Amino acid sequence: MRDPGARRAIAVVLIIGMVLSVGLAGIVSYYASTHPDGLEHVAEQEGFSESAQESATEDSPLAGYGVQGVSDERMSAGLAGVVGVGVTALLGFGLFLLLGARRRPTEREHPGVTEPHG
- The pLDDT tens digits for 47-93 are 888 888 887 888 888 888 788 899 988 888 889 889 989 999 999 98
Q: Which of 12, 8, 15 is nearest to 89 (CA)?
A: 15
> Quick check: pTM over 0.95?
no
The CA distance from 107 to 60, in Å, is 51
What is the per-residue pLDDT for 51? 86
